[in-house]
Structure 1
Amino acid sequence: MSEPRKPVKQIHLAAHFPGVNNTTVWSDPQAGSHIEFSSFAHFARTAERAKFDFLFLAEGLRLREQGGQIYDLDVVGRPDTFTILSALAAVTERLGLTGTINSTFNEPYEVARQFASLDHLSDGRAAWNVVTSWDAFTGENFRRGGFLPQEERYSRAKEFLATANELFDSWHGDEIVADPATGTFLSDAKAGAFVHQGQHFDIEGQFNVPGSPQGRPVIFQAGDSEEGREFAAAGADAIFSRYATLKEGQAFYTDVKGRLARHGRTPDQLLILPAATFVLGDTDADAAELAREVRRQQVSGATALKHLEFVWNRDLSGYDPDGPLPDIDPDLGEHTLARGRAQVRMYRDPLATAREWRELAAANKWSIRDLVIETGNRQAFVGSAETVAHTINEFVQADASDGFILVPHITPGGLDVFADTVVPLLQERGVFRTEYEGTTLRDHLGLDRPAARSGSAAHGERAVAS
């Protein structure tokens, strides 16, 4: 007796507006502004035309520095997330709107009110990527510097999210009774009442934004650490992943989905969505050649040296980027050279990384620039539209992901070619929608509307966070 065939999964696609960073070829003549609203609008409309689930914005709370100077790729800055997403809600109709907002330096009432408002303005299309801040450098903007030891930041984030959910749900579960003559609530209506007492927050009052069209904004999480994976399994609707190979993706998928049962959740209640860059060409060979060209445009000689400084923690400006790697070892002291750079955290054992890179460079006869290009900037999907569509579908059907968040190297028009060539092929295969079937982001992602909380917190009695 043959085994039953596994159901064909539907692919989830989203688009990340990249801003100016190491994936962007800002020097390309096709590159436009990264701060003018017309760029955001073009990008969002392309994603919606292609029937993507959502648009995603990352967050930058401080201009990054290297060697005491503003890192040159950040000079345009980052406009405010809520301002952009609220404006995009007016020029789109179905596309989800996802913003990254920090839980370390903000307060639950403020953030919950902003997301609940965005969810109303967009008719239920808002999502929140909950992140923590890891460095005192960023905290200086908030007069908090090294606020909270790093090991306590997930504790704060967990309670922050739980508190925000109490606020989102504070209008649920009660019969809202209004005086028909005046339109005001009767005295026994408890809508919006909340009380929260915990380690990090002790607040009570009346939440002033009614329940939104999708119940609560969708919750995303981006951490890859043990704490981050567990945080996502406990309360997120989707988790980003940095694993872009099939084998690594399957291992991450299995690990995170396997954590859900102990939180009383099922595998379909958490989506896994890796970020993915891409380069398309008329043929696979054309795409491969273009990909090499793009990588060299992304990594100038100066950029390569700065990337190496993330590991070496030394000023390497005197080295030739087209020459060999430094023969001196990394400085293992406090990392003060690159400030506000997430990449610094990736290299937890600088000596081992330096040793591995020297071996790679020697075996392949790579210069510093060659090494940075080959180890840090390979695109996830390279090929013809047919090849890329096949590969994306293969990853999803093999449970390496539930879809992808696409990051083009040209802003804002870099998504257009994917929308025009790859999406129709996925639609022909029957693995991606041809039309939106619902109106909210939860509809797009196949997520149920969260049940209204019951019990003390929803009725204004004291809720104590463990």
Structure 2
Amino acid sequence: MSKPLKQIHLAAHFPGVNNTTVWSDPEAGSHIEFSSFAHFARTAERAKFDFLFLAEGLRLREQGGKIYDLDVVGRPDTFTVLAALAAVTERLGLTGTINSTFNEPYEVARQFASLDHLSAGRAAWNVVTSWDAFTGENFRRGGFLPQEERYSRAKEFLATANELFDSWQGDEIVADQETGTFLSDAKAGAFVHTGQHFDIEGRFNVPRSPQGRPVIFQAGDSDEGREFAAAGADAIFSRHATLDAGQAFYTDVKRRLAAYGRRPDQLLILPAASFVLGDTDAEAEELAKEVRRQQVSGATALKHLEFVWNRDLSAYDPEGPLPDIDPDVDGTHISQGRAQVRMYRDPLATARAWRELAAANNWSIRDLVIETGNRQNFVGSPATVAKTINDYVQSDAADGFILVPHITPTGLDVFADQVVPLLQEQGVFRADYEGTTLRDHLGLDTPGLTGP
């Protein structure tokens, strides 16, 4: 007997902090004005997506001491945006990335519990750590923690937040109208936590939220990150979106769950994925090439090369050959606050490999950055893209995808109108919401009053 078809989970990432967005497109809109967020969220809800996802930028990135102006010009506060979106949506989950390195458990738990109440149980928290001192300069806790300490703090941060979420053992505290005192006062959010990173005691002032706790996401890919997710996350925001890499990641993370007394279905694997649609596969392929060249302008290509070379390359022609000088591996890095800096741990080896690729293919600087950078994950007609997504999910390369359109805020519309109906026809994606909370959408258990 064949196993039943898995149901696909879909979400939408508002792409405000990466170079996926084609800023030069006439349809590109503001990444600050609320109308952009509202349009994006309403489209996702119309398509019956599980949730909307917001990344976080805690400092404007710099290159060569100047604001890096090629991909983002600011980032509004996550909680403010999600709270506003709660008022213009009814079922869509609201997921925010909040840093565990520079915040405090009481404050973050209070904000997420409040958001869960405001949205009637649709809040989710993507727990991340911060790796760079550059971002840390914005906070009292300057600098940064070594990786093992970052995850140690993150684990205790999440555990402490869960203690706060669970500290209310009833739905509400009732006031005695005659005496003015509270009944069942002993249940009203009392907590005591003593640990390596946090030593706090008091009463949590937000009653237990509709989901018990917000859904917990994790985005780290290191071994420590995978263990952190297996121990306490509900879903992983993964970057492994090819079939082979997705299956390997899926298998590795799911097998870790048993050590924590968890079932495979208690942790969802949701890679980020971009897409380009056309009337035919050939048309989509041509459009994808055009989109990629729009995403990587000549200026962007030079800036990307500077991540590796750690030199000012503004004098080079992006349509010309790669620099014949070697990367500077001794000086302070000219890029600040960019995750790409960590991706090239051996700049000299990377430069050699790139020169060989460019020579073999007669690539310019811009060609190289386009060909070696992130590619669109799903390219084709609506039928092709729907089939590919379903194949990935049914073959355990993912439980679904967090889609990142290249146009904001309208880029999700075509997927909602042309791909989602095909998935619904195949019986692998909901025709309507069956529950009210994000945990309902994701098929996750609701935590009990006293434990996970």
Counterpart of 2:86 in structure 1 is: 89
Matches for 1:266-305 after TM superposition, within 5 Å? 266-305=263-302
Where does the alignment leave 5 or more consecutive residues of structure 1 unmatched?
A: 459-466
Partner of 1:357: 354
Q: Label 1:361 to 1:211 Cα distance change in 2 as closer, same or farther (>3 A).
A: same
In the alignment, what sits opposite 1:136? 133
Q: How far apart, in 1, do the equivalents of 2:33 and 2:185 lie?
A: 48
CA distance in structure 2 between the aligned counterparts of 1:407 and 1:255, rounded to whole angstroms = 25
Paired position in structure 2 for 1:235:
232
Equivalence map 1:192-207=2 (5 Å): 192-207=189-204
Partner of 1:348: 345
Please tell me whether residue 428 in structure 1 is matched to residue 425 in structure 2: yes
Structure 2 partner of 1:162: 159
Q: Is the partner of 1:141 in helix, strand or coil?
A: coil
What is the CA distance between 1:233 and its match in structure 2? Answer: 0.5
Greater displacement, 332-341 / 22-31 = 332-341
Seen in structure 2, the aligned counterparts of structure 1 residues 348 and 438 have a Cα distance that, compared at 3 Å, is same
Alpha-carbon deviation of 1:190?
Answer: 2.6
User: Alignment identity in percent?
Assistant: 87
1:55-66 alignment to 2 at 5 Å? 55-66=52-63
Shift of 1:178: 4.7
Q: Which moved more, 1:240-249 or 1:352-361?
A: 352-361
1:193-342, aligned counterparts within 5 Å?
193-333=190-330, 335-342=332-339
- Which residue pairs with 1:464 in the alignment? none
CA distance, structure 2, for counterparts of residue 94 and residue 186 of structure 1: 33
1:78 and 2:58 equivalent?
no
Residue 321 of structure 1: how far off its partner (Å): 0.9
* Deviation for aligned residue 1:151: 2.8
Deviation at 1:352, TM superposition (A): 2.4
> Any conservation in 1 of the 2:61–2:337 contact (CA below 8 Å)?
yes
**Aligned counterparts of 2:120 and 2:184: Cα–Cα separation in 1:** 29
1:249 Cα offset (Å) = 0.4
**1:53 deviation in Å?**
0.1
| Bigger Cα displacement from structure 2, 67-76 vs 48-57 | 67-76
SS in 1 for 2:38: helix
Residue by residue, what CA displacement relative to the aligned partner does 1:56-86 show, whole Å, maximum 9, x if unpaired? 0000000000011000135530000000000
Tell me the residue number matched to 2:115.
Answer: 118
1:43 corresponds to which letter in structure 2?
F
Correspondence 1:410 to 2:407: yes
**Alignment partners' CA distance in 1, 2:304 and 2:115:** 37
**RMSD of aligned alpha carbons:** 1.6
Give the TM-score of the pair, scaled to structure 2.
0.97
Which segment drifts farther, 352-361 or 375-384? Answer: 352-361
Q: Distance in 2 between matches of 1:183 and 1:327?
A: 79
Query: Aligned residue for 1:439?
Result: 436
What secondary structure, in the 3-state scheme, does the structure 1 residue paired with 2:82 have? helix
Q: Structure 2 vs 1, CA of residues 184 and 361 (structure 1 numbering), >3 Å: closer, same or farther?
A: farther
Equivalent residue for 1:31, pick from 28, 32, 46: 28
Per-residue CA deviation, residues 136-164 of structure 1 (Å, 9 max, x unaligned), is 00011113331433331111000000000
What is the SS of the residue equivalent to 1:273? strand
Deviations 1:183-216 (A, max 9, x none): 6423752320000000000000000000011110
Distance 1:20 1:241, change over 3 A: closer
Kindly provide the amino acid, as one letter, of the partner of residue 140 in structure 2: R
CA deviations on 1:323-352 (whole Å, 9 max, x unpaired) are 111222222235420000011111122222
Cα offsets for 1:374-429 (capped at 9, x unmatched): 11131000000000000000000000000000000001000000000000000000
Match status 1:45 vs 2:42: yes
Structure 1 counterpart of 2:143: 146
The residue that corresponds to 1:388 in the other structure is 385
Q: Are 1:136 and 1:146, in contact at CA under 8 Å, matched by a contact in 2?
A: yes
CA distance in 2 between counterparts of 1:134 and 1:363 reads 36
1:6 is aligned to 2:30 = no
Give the 3 Å change call, closer, same or farther, for CA 345–427 of structure 1 in structure 2: same
Q: Distance in 2 between matches of 1:276 and 1:187?
A: 48
1:405 match: secondary structure: strand
Question: In the alignment, which of 10, 15, 22 is matched to residue 12 of structure 2?
Answer: 15
User: Which piece of structure 1 moves more, 170-179 or 38-47?
Assistant: 170-179
What one-letter code is carried by the residue in structure 1 that aligns with 2:354? W
| 2:151 aligned partner, one-letter code | Y
- Amino acid in structure 1 at the alignment position of 2:306: E
Matches of 1:251 and 1:75 in 2, distance apart? 33
Query: Aligned partners of 2:73, 2:325: CA distance in 1, in Å?
Result: 35
TM-score, length of structure 1 as denominator length: 0.94
Q: Distance in 2 between matches of 1:393 and 1:114?
A: 36
* Distance in 2, Cα, partners of 1:259 & 1:331: 40
Q: Is the 8 A contact 2:60 2:73 kept in 1?
A: no
Q: CA 1:143/1:174 → structure 2, altered by over 3 Å: closer, same or farther?
A: closer
Report how many residues are paired. 452
Alpha-carbon distance change, 20 to 238 in structure 1, aligned in 2, over 3 angstroms: closer
Task: Give how far 1:176 is off.
Answer: 5.3
> Whole-Å Cα distance in 2 between the matches of residues 446 and 393 of structure 1?
18
* Letter paired with 1:336: H
C-alpha separation between the residues in 1 aligned to 2:13 and 2:417?
17
Amino acid at match of 1:351: L
Give the equivalent residue in structure 2 for 1:463: none
Partners in 1 of 2:184 and 2:220 — Cα distance? 44
Question: 2:8 is matched by which residue type in structure 1?
Answer: I
